[in-house]
């Protein structure tokens, strides 16, 4: 065997990726991959895959792609979580080697935030935002697809690290000097930085896209103060993405340059300043937690109004508080590193600004409760998540205010108290919100309701599992257990609480299984929803048939009130009864391979840079530029859907008069 092949094998498959469990997964992936390939070829589905999914620019299909990715990543991140809990269940365990434990908690955090939470949110945005504002697509359909494929490329790059080359192992925050070349020579951290930079570019483009969509693409009559709250939340989230991701990109790029090109930003010698990374990272990181939760505030605002059969209480105040949260979230980042010792002035400023955020958030909680007050509440699964969210998020928020008190934070810092706090807000706020939105909008996306009975089982498993997992962790934190701890001796009083926590994690795992069963069962046996409006909804997406035709609205609606569809129903109007002369030719974006190819090119760049294969990285980069230039010269990016075709589709849905 030539020497370079031996070298290649040693580079790609070092000892850290040759644990027996990983080899088993390798085998499973190879067998599964071959099986999938044979299946696709036998059933002649490659063309279908290419035409319908890989080259699509339709926001509804991109939403499905995001959703699939998010659920797969929820599985991966969940497995990581179960592994962490298995390792920590008993004192002195060696369930897995310490190095693998480091990798697992790193990938758990990174995947759950960047590759589960954000794509799940973008799935909901893509599925619903254009429908809610009466638009035919997002502002930039092609860029929307590019965002997806860049995200997918980043996600794949990040996920293959555990089978090829080794995973990152410096925590999801990737602080230097842990990530410095001197202490971490493997390719793992390169994977981390490149994957997040590439996915981050995609996310920034999504932010631009949805900001412009919500600002410029609203149907006639939908003024700012008539927008559904979910649209407000999409707008504010997009603005947060715009303002938060640049510092992250810069911080990651600098760390990467330190590793690849010998610069001295965050090194220990040459005057480098590791804490500047921390500063830049949290400049992104704090707005990021609001990026993760504000969309779900929007979801809850829609869900609570629909299932209480009432207009949302205090709409203007809800809008004001969401904007206040947006502003305040930029002035709080230092509370993630109070213990750095920036000085009393700095810490007091950021402690107070952090506490201030509790006020608009509290306002929102009260408004949701007042919306339910006196309403006819329907206990659907979406509403159950809403009801579970309120107490969970209040407790998570209250412990957050505890952490904002600087002297107390010096005690809490890096303990399990912090772990419990942020899981409390991220699971209680983000995950419950995402699942609420999933159950609420599933009929619109796929044309059938998720089975409610099974959904309830999944809900209770998640809800109970969550509390069993994380309430012991508050106590563990107070008893001095620190985060990212590999193992601990018996006799510290941590033993029982850790066992309880692990049991809770298993219950949540069962919840995930129930959720997937629910989804698969519904896809196979689910009852078709023919009304298009199964929940008696209030906003415009429910005025359309499910699933929604390619062009969304045959005739663009005119909005006269907040909760536009409810208003139309009250007045006896309907978008369903369309006269043939109302239908005109519709300009639609044309499918294009550009976004997918761009993702592939970026993947080549990312993978080659991870292993410092400069020529291949150069080829990939040339590919990126070639694709961008080609896209610039491509003026045939739309086509006209003939009125006749639209009429035929609408007639087949029974929505055309005469």
Among 273, 408, 457, 645, binds another protein (CB under 8 A): 273
From CA 327, how far away is CA 17, in angstroms rounded? 44
Could you tell me which residues come within 8 angstroms of residue 411 by beta carbon, excluding any fewer than 6 positions away? none
From CA 418, how far away is CA 173, in angstroms rounded? 14
Check binding of 145 to another protein (CB under 8 A): no
**Three-state secondary structure string covering 352-419:** HHHHHHHHHHHHHHHHHHHHHCCCCCCCCHHHHHHHHHHHHHHHHHHHHHHHHCHHHHHHHCCEHHHH
Q: Quick one: which segment of 40-48, 211-219, 389-397, 519-527 binds another protein (CB under 8 A)?
A: 211-219
CA 17 remoteness from chain centre: 27
Residue 379 and residue 386 in contact, taking contact as beta carbons nearer than 8 Å: no
The smaller minimum CB distance to another protein, of residues 275 and 510, is found at: 275
Cα angle 177, 181, 187 (rounded to 5 degrees) comes to 115
Q: Quick one: which segment of 273-281, 461-469, 486-494, 537-545 binds another protein (CB under 8 A)?
A: 273-281
From CA 242, how far away is CA 239, in angstroms rounded? 5
Q: Quick one: which segment of 80-88, 209-217, 397-405, 423-431 binds another protein (CB under 8 A)?
A: 209-217
Q: Quick one: which segment of 17-25, 123-131, 333-341, 374-382 binds another protein (CB under 8 A)?
A: 333-341
Residue 266 and residue 260 in contact, taking contact as beta carbons nearer than 8 Å: no
Residues of span 160-179 touching another protein by CB under 8 A:
none
Whether residue 109 is preceded by a cis peptide bond, meaning omega within 30 degrees of 0, is no
Give φ, ψ of 588 to 5 degrees.
Answer: -120, 150
639: helix, strand or coil: strand
Check binding of 343 to another protein (CB under 8 A): yes
Work out the number of other CB atoms within 10 angstroms of the CB of residue 14: 15
Residues of span 283-302 touching another protein by CB under 8 A:
283
Q: How many residues bind another protein (CB under 8 A)?
A: 62
Q: Quick one: which segment of 7-15, 221-229, 359-367, 591-599 binds another protein (CB under 8 A)?
A: 221-229
From CA 23, how far away is CA 123, in angstroms rounded? 33
Check binding of 272 to another protein (CB under 8 A): yes
**Nearest distance from C-beta of residue 487 to another protein, angstroms:** 29
Among 114, 120, 245, 553, binds another protein (CB under 8 A): 245
Check binding of 330 to another protein (CB under 8 A): yes
**Nearest distance from C-beta of residue 223 to another protein, angstroms:** 5
**Nearest distance from C-beta of residue 232 to another protein, angstroms:** 13
Check binding of 319 to another protein (CB under 8 A): no
From CA 465, how far away is CA 507, in angstroms rounded? 5
Residues of span 250-269 touching another protein by CB under 8 A:
250-251, 253-254, 257, 261-265, 267, 269
Residue 115, both tokens: 């590759």
From CA 334, how far away is CA 347, in angstroms rounded? 7
Among 4, 20, 223, 491, binds another protein (CB under 8 A): 223
Side-chain half-sphere exposure of 47, counting CA atoms within 13 A: 3
The smaller minimum CB distance to another protein, of residues 139 and 381, is found at: 139
Residue 309, both tokens: 């059969």
Q: What's the DSSP call for residue 656? A: B
Residues of span 102-141 touching another protein by CB under 8 A:
139-140
Among 12, 99, 275, 651, binds another protein (CB under 8 A): 275
The structure tokens 């992936």 sit at 29
**Nearest distance from C-beta of residue 333 to another protein, angstroms:** 9
Closest listed residue to residue 432, CA positions, set 423, 443, 444: 423
Q: Quick one: which segment of 21-29, 222-230, 294-302, 390-398 binds another protein (CB under 8 A)?
A: 222-230
Check binding of 204 to another protein (CB under 8 A): yes
Among 27, 224, 492, 523, binds another protein (CB under 8 A): 224
Q: Quick one: which segment of 152-160, 245-253, 396-404, 511-519 binds another protein (CB under 8 A)?
A: 245-253
Residue 465 and residue 507 in contact, taking contact as beta carbons nearer than 8 Å: yes
Task: Give the strand pairing for 586-589 and 638-641.
Answer: antiparallel
Check binding of 229 to another protein (CB under 8 A): no
Q: Quick one: which segment of 20-28, 311-319, 326-334, 519-527 binds another protein (CB under 8 A)?
A: 326-334
257: helix, strand or coil: helix
Residues of span 542-581 touching another protein by CB under 8 A:
none
From CA 607, how far away is CA 615, in angstroms rounded? 12
Check binding of 402 to another protein (CB under 8 A): no
The smaller minimum CB distance to another protein, of residues 167 and 591, is found at: 591
The smaller minimum CB distance to another protein, of residues 25 and 268, is found at: 268
Check binding of 211 to another protein (CB under 8 A): yes
The smaller minimum CB distance to another protein, of residues 203 and 448, is found at: 203
Residue 458, both tokens: 């999944």
Q: Quick one: which segment of 59-67, 339-347, 373-381, 575-583 binds another protein (CB under 8 A)?
A: 339-347
Residue 120 and residue 67 in contact, taking contact as beta carbons nearer than 8 Å: yes
Binding residues (CB under 8 A) for another protein: these are: 139-140, 204, 207-209, 211-212, 215-218, 220-224, 239, 242-243, 245-247, 249-251, 253-254, 257, 261-265, 267, 269-273, 275-276, 279-280, 283, 330-331, 334, 339-346, 584, 587, 629, 632-633, 635
């Amino acid at each position: 065997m030539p020497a370079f092949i031996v070298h290649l094998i040693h580079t790609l498959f070092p000892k850290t990726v040759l644990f027996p469990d990983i080899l088993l997964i390798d085998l499973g992936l190879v067998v599964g991959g071959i099986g999938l390939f044979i299946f696709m070829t036998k059933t002649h589905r490659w063309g279908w895959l290419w035409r319908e999914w890989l080259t699509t620019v339709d926001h509804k299909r991109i939403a499905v792609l995001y959703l699939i990715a998010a659920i797969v990543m929820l599985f991966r991140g969940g497995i990581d979580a179960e592994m962490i809990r298995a390792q920590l269940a008993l004192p002195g365990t060696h369930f897995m080697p310490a190095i693998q434990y480091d990798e697992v908690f790193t990938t758990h955090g990174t995947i759950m935030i960047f590759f589960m939470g954000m794509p799940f949110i973008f799935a909901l945005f893509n599925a619903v935002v254009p429908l809610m504002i009466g638009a035919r697509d997002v502002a930039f359909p092609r860029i929307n697809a590019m965002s997806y494929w860049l995200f997918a490329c980043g996600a794949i790059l990040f996920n293959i690290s555990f089978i090829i080359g080794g995973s990152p192992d410096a925590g999801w925050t990737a602080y230097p000097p842990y990530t410095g070349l001197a202490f971490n020579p493997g390719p793992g951290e390169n994977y981390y930085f490149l994957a997040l930079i590439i996915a981050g570019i995609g996310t920034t483009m999504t932010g631009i896209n949805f900001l412009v969509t919500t600002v410029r693409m609203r149907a006639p009559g939908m003024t700012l103060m008539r927008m559904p709250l979910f649209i407000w939340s999409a707008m504010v989230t997009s603005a947060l993405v715009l303002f938060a991701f640049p510092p992250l990109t810069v911080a990651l790029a600098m760390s990467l340059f330190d590793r690849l090109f010998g610069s001295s930003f965050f090194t220990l010698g040459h005057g480098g300043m590791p804490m500047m990374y921390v500063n830049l990272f949290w400049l992104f990181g704090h707005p990021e937690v609001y990026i993760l939760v504000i969309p779900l505030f929007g979801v809850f605002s829609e869900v609570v109004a629909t299932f209480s059969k009432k207009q949302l209480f205090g709409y203007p105040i809800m809008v004001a508080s969401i904007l206040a949260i947006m502003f305040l979230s930029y002035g709080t980042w230092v509370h993630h590193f109070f213990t750095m010792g920036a000085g009393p002035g700095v810490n007091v400023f950021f402690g107070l600004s952090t506490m201030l955020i509790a006020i608009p958030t509290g306002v929102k909680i009260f408004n949701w409760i007042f919306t339910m007050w006196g309403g006819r509440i329907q206990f659907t699964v979406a509403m159950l998540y809403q009801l579970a969210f309120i107490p969970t998020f209040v407790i998570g928020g209250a412990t957050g205010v505890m952490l904002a008190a600087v002297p107390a934070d010096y005690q809490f810092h890096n303990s399990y108290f912090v772990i419990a706090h942020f899981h409390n807000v991220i699971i209680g706020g983000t995950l419950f919100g995402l699942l609420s939105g999933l159950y609420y909008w599933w009929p619109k996306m796929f044309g059938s309701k998720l089975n409610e009975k099974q959904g309830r089982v999944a809900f209770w498993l998640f809800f109970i599992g969550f509390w069993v997992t994380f309430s012991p962790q508050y106590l563990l934190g107070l008893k001095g257990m620190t985060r990212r701890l590999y193992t601990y001796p018996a006799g510290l009083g941590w033993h029982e609480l850790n066992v309880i926590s692990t049991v809770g994690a298993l219950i949540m795992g069962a919840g995930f299984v129930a959720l997937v069963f629910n989804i698969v069962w519904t896809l196979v046996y689910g009852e078709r929803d023919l009304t298009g409006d199964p929940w008696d909804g209030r906003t415009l997406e429910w005025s359309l048939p499910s699933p929604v035709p390619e062009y969304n609205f045959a005739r663009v609606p005119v909005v006269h009130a907040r909760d536009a569809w409810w208003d139309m129903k009250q007045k006896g109007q309907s978008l369903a009864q369309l006269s043939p002369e109302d239908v005109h030719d519709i300009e639609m974006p044309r499918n294009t391979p550009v976004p997918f190819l761009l993702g592939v090119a970026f993947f080549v760049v990312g993978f080659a840079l991870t292993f410092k294969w400069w020529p291949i990285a150069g080829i990939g980069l040339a590919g990126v530029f070639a694709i961008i230039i080609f896209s610039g010269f491509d003026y045939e990016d739309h086509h006209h859907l003939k009125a006749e075709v639209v009429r035929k589709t609408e007639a087949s849905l029974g929505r055309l008069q005469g």
